[in-house]
A and B are shown apart, each in its own frame.
Chain A
Amino acid sequence: MGLVIDVGRCTECKRCMIACSLVKSGGVRMSSSRIEIRPNWPETPEIRVCRFEDCAGHPCIESCPVAAISDSDGVVLIDGKACIGCGACVGVCPYQAIKIVSGIALKCDLCGGDPACVKECVTGALQSREVAE
C-alpha cells in the first residue's frame, strides 16, 4: 500500500485536494485536504503527502510524546483522540505531510487502502503503489 508520485506529470489542478477534502470533511476546503500541491513555478510543484515506503525510520512515530502515531501494516495513522496537537511530528516529517488543524495533527491515511485522490488524477502523477508496480 502507498502512493507513487511522478511530480513531472502534475498539472497542479488540485483534484486530489478536492477529492481528499470531500472525503475527510464532507465539503471542498483546501485546508481539510491531507495532500497538498504547492506550486514552485516555473519548476515542478512540491507534493506534500506521506511517503511511508520511501521514508527512513518514520520519525513521526518516535516523535510523538503521547504515542498517538502508529504504523498499521504500512500505513501511518494518527489517533485523533490521543493527539494533543503539540506539533512534534510536523517538525520531523521529511515530506511535510502532517499539519495541525483545529488543534489536531492530520495526515493521509490512504483512505483505508483505496485513496480517493488517485482516482481523480488524470495524468498519473499520483498512483497506487500496487498499480504502479
Chain B
Amino acid sequence: MTGSMFDRMLRIDVGEKTSSLWTVPSAVRSYVGGMGYGVKILCDEVDPRIDPLSPENKILLTVGPLTGTSAPMHAQSCIVTKSPLSGTILNSYAGGFLGPEIKFCGLDGIIFEGAGSEWSILLIDDDKVRFESAVDIVGKTTEEAEAYIKETYGSDYRTVSIGPAGEKSVAMAGAFSETRAFGRGGAGAVFGSKRIKAVGVRGSQSVTTEDASLFSKLTAQNMSVLRDARAEEYGLLGIFSKYGTGGGMPLVQGRGALPTKNHTYGSFDGAENIDGPFYEEKFYTRQIACFGCPVHCGRIHKFSGTDGSKLWGRGPEYETMFSLGSNLLNGDPEVLAEANRLTEQYGVDSLTTGVTIAWALEMAEAGKLGVQGLDLKFGSADAVLRLIHMICMREGIGDMLAKGPKQAALELGNDSIGSAMQVKNSGFAAWMPRRMKGTGLAYATSNRGACHKRAPIGAEIAGVLDMESYEGKAAALIETQNTVNAIFTLISCRFHEFATDHEVYPKLLAAATGRTVQWDEMVTLGERIWNLEKLFNLKAGLTRDDDRLPGKCFEPVLGKTSQSSVIEEEKFEAMLDEYYSLRGWDSEGVPGTKKLEELGIADYAM
C-alpha cells in the first residue's frame, strides 16, 4: 500500500464465479491510476481484434489516487473496455459515489472477466464477492435494479446496473450508477454480454494519505479556489453551480454553435425553454453533488409525463439538451425531461441515442425511412419517446438504430451515411464542428470516437482560439488530449481543471501517495496513454478513414447566427496531416518508432 493507493485490484471471473486479489505490478503502477491503469491493463491483456461482446473482452473499473480522499471533484470512476459501439478502446466515466466506495473496499479497481451463462448480481464487500441470481430483475430498469439491491441486500450498497438496452446488446447502452452514468461507448452492452445485470459495492476500509497534514493543507487551498470559482456569476463553475451544465447553453446558442435539427442549423429558437436557467426557475429542482464536490452541477426535477403521470428524474445535462432537445427540434422541457428519464431507465447513452434518432428523422423527412403508424418528424414528442423505446427494446427499425448511427446508415444505404453525425459510430456531442474547427478535429481524432471531453471547446467558445480558423488547432488539440489524459489518471472531474492550476495535480499526487512526479511528466504519461490507445485501435483494424468527419460537415450550416460556416475538406485533410505529423505518426496515423521509443512503449508497435 502506498498512501491512498491499495496497490491491489479484484479480479472477478464471471464465468467461473471466482475472484482473486491481484497485486498491481510496478509496470502498471507507473500509469498512476484511473484511465492509465485501465488502458495499460487492457492493452496488455486483451487482443484488440476480439469481438467486444465476447467473453474475451474485459471491463476494467478503476479509481485513482485521489478517489475517496478529501480532494474535491475526484468522485468519478473509470471504465476501460473494448467498445461495441466504436470497435475502439473505450474510456468512460461516471460520477456519484461508486468510485469512493470501490476505494473503501481497499481496492484500486475491479476487473470483470469471462462471461456468465445466467444473469447475475455481483455483491462486493471489501475483497469478497457473492454471486446472486438476477432472475427477479432481468428486463427491469436501472432504477428498479438499484432499488432491488438496496432493498434485498442492504441500503448501503453502491450500485452499477444495466437496463433492458444493456441486456439486448444495444451498441450505445450505458452502465448506470444511481443516476450517474458510464454513458459513452456501450459499456452497458459489455456488462450485458457477461450476463452481469448489476453490481453492488460496499466497503469498510479507511482511505488515508501518505502525508496527511500536507494533503489536508492542499485540499483546503483547493477548496478555497473552488469556493471562489463557484461564486463567480459568469464563471463556468459559477454557472454550473447555479444552473447545472445546461447553464452554458445560452452561450453556445449565442455563438451559433448549438447543433440543431441533426446539425442543419447552429441555433434553436426553442433553446430558452430547455436550457439550465429555464429548468432552475420553472421546475421543482434540487441541486445534487457527487462525493465531496462543491460545484453540485447535478439536478433532480419533478415534472409531468406526456400521459399526465407525475414523474421525477435527474435533470438533463447540457449534452442531452442538445441530443434529445435542439437536435430533434424538441423545445418542450417536459418531453425532454421525460426522454432523458427514459434513456436512464432503459440504460442507454442519451447522446448517441439522440444523434441516431436525429439521423432517422432526417431520413424519414427525405422519404428514405418510415414506421407505420408513427409520424417520424422533427419536433414530435411521440417520435422521440417511441424511438427511444424501439431502440432499447430493438423493436422494428429500433433494431437497426440500436447498432449506432454509422452502422444504421450503412444498413439503410441509400446515400444516408453523410447525414449520420458521428465518428467511429459514436455520436457527435453538443458542439458544432463546422463552427469550431478544432472541436471538429477533436471529434475526428478521438480514440473513442466523436469525443468532447478532450477538445479545445473552452478556448474556441471563449474566443481564445478563433473558432473558424484551422491554424494552430492541431497543436492546441494535442496539448488538450495529452493534458486531459494526464488528469484522467487521477480521474479528476473534467470541470476541476477549469479553476485549478495544473501544478496542483502532482502536488496532490505526492501528498496522497508519496510519489514524486512533475507535471510535464504527467503530460508525457497522457501522451503515452494516447499512443497506446491509438495502437490498440489500429490493431483492431481502424484506419485513417475512421478519423474523418461525415459529409454534412462539408456543407454550410444554415441559420442566422452561424454565418454559413463550413469545413473545407482539403483544409480538414491538411489539418489531419498536420495533427499526425505533430504526433510523430505517419500519414496513415501509425505512430512512428521514434515516438514510441521516446515514450517507452516500443514493445506495443504494430
Contact = CB atoms under 8 A, between A and B. Distances in A.
A31 B126 CA distance: 14
Contact of B207 (A11, A28, A44, A123): A28
Interface residues of A, number: 23
A1 B483 CA distance: 47
A30 B294 contact: no
A73 to B, nearest CB: 28
A11 B287 contact: yes
Interface in B42-85: 68-70, 72
Interface stretch (A14-22, A80-88, A91-99): A14-22
Given A41-B300, A41-B312, A42-B302, A29 B292 contact: no
A26 interface: yes
B296 A44 contact: no
A6 to B, nearest CB: 13
Nearest to B70: A18
A103 interface: no
A48 to B, nearest CB: 14
A111 interface: no
Contacts of A21: 206
Given A11-B288, A13-B291, A42-B286, A31 B302 contact: no
A26 B287 CA distance: 30
Contacts of B70: 15, 18-19, 22, 28
B286 A30 contact: no
Contacts of A44: 286
B289 A28 contact: no
A31 B204 contact: yes
A120 interface: yes
A20 to B, nearest CB: 11
A29 B289 contact: no
Nearest to A43: B286
Contacts of A42: 284, 286, 300-302, 312
B207 A29 contact: yes
Contacts of A122: 223, 227, 230, 294
Interface string B293-329: 1101010111000000000100000000000000000
A125 to B, nearest CB: 11
Interface string A93-124: 00000000000000000000000000010110
Contact of A15 (B216, B292, B312): B292
B580 interface: no
B337 interface: no
Contacts of A26: 206, 208, 212
Contacts of A13: 289-294, 296
B223 to A, nearest CB: 7
Contacts of A18: 70, 291-292
Nearest to A121: B294
Given A19-B70, A42-B312, A27 B208 contact: yes
B104 interface: yes
A101 to B, nearest CB: 11
B68 A28 contact: yes
Interface in B215-246: 216, 223, 227, 230
A123 B292 contact: no
A114 B479 CA distance: 44
A17 B368 CA distance: 57
A128 interface: no
A12 B208 CA distance: 22
Contacts of A28: 68-70, 100, 206-208
B117 interface: no
11 contacts: A13-B289, A13-B296, A14-B97, A26-B206, A26-B208, A27-B207, A29-B206, A31-B204, A42-B300, A42-B312, A123-B287
Given A15-B292, A26-B208, A122-B294, 18 more contacts: A11-B287, A11-B288, A11-B289, A12-B288, A13-B290, A13-B294, A13-B296, A15-B70, A15-B294, A28-B69, A29-B204, A29-B207, A42-B284, A42-B286, A42-B302, A120-B223, A122-B230, A123-B287
